[in-house]
Amino acid sequence: MLATLPPWLTLPPRNLAPVLATARLLQEQDLFTVCESANCPNASECFTRRTCTFMILGNVCTRGCSFCAVQTGRPTLPDPTEPARVARAAAALGMRHVVVTSVTRDDLTDGGASQFVATIRELRKSPDVTVEALVPDFRGDRRPLEEVIVAGPDVLAHNIETVPRLYVKVRRGAAYERSLRIISQLPVGGAVSKSGLMLGLGETLQEVFEVMADLRSVGCEVLTLGQYLQPSLDCLPVADYVSPSVFDALKLKALAMGFRSCVAGPLVRSSYHAEATVGPGA
């Protein structure tokens, strides 16, 4: 990791009481979040706001991408009680927009799609809640994705993560064209389609523009752009820090290209303030 963080990545101190209260509630329901498992820099802010990104299907991933701190290994079988526990926690936190993602489960025939479906259905029992499903690539199999689409999330997302040249180094077991095909299918069923891209891994601006164009060509509507930060010493180091002014310019570029909204900034993550990313001009 680069030796010194630039000033725009310095986080203000926070009152720990609400953070710990949210963490305790999640622990009581025996739930995992990306916020904690992936060492997200915004975890304290989001927990203070009584929101989070639920990570279903356990906390062990079958891939082990080099940008991610989630542990890799042999996962346990899906827990049939997990969807109801997610819904209970979301209700207890007063969440109105709930983001659900998962570890990648290449060990499961359906890649974990049925657990997404069950979780969406549980959350749908609260009529005022909107649901965002951030799905893995299901190894390119369209059938599991169709199951999730039919469940009717309001937002359906799959992160492209980085530029094609860096896929071999950054996304173990993934393929750029495969992820692009997944994203091309997200708008089916009426859900808002969404994807995210990390900067600071050694990509060029021209490569970022090309990925943005590819995403628009397959119908992606919402884009998030954020700075990659090394979540653990076992992960890839940061190649460079992208200034806020570049993120501002990229947001304008994205809107000019036809994205209905773009959230861009050094600390932006794909689920950061997710409830605001589906509105026009966000």
Q: Which fold has domain 16-276?
A: TIM Barrel (3.20.20)
pLDDT digits (tens, 9 = 90+) for 219-242: 999 999 999 998 888 888 999 999
pLDDT digits (tens, 9 = 90+) for 113-133: 999 999 999 999 998 999 999
Q: Are strands 53-56 and 97-102 parallel, antiparallel or unpaired?
A: parallel
pLDDT digits (tens, 9 = 90+) for 207-222: 999 999 999 999 999 9
Cβ neighbour number for residue 118 with a 10 Å cutoff: 19
pLDDT averaged over every residue in the chain:
92
pTM of the model as a whole = 0.93
Question: Which secondary structure element, helix H or strand E, spans residue 88, and what is its range?
Answer: helix 82-93
Joined together, the tokens standing for residue 125 give: 């029992």
How many angstroms separate the CA atoms of 147 and 245, rounded? 40
In angstroms, what CA-CA distances link 256 with 186, 209, 212, 244, 251?
22, 12, 11, 19, 9
Residue ranges of domains in the chain: 16-276
Residue 1: the pLDDT is 47
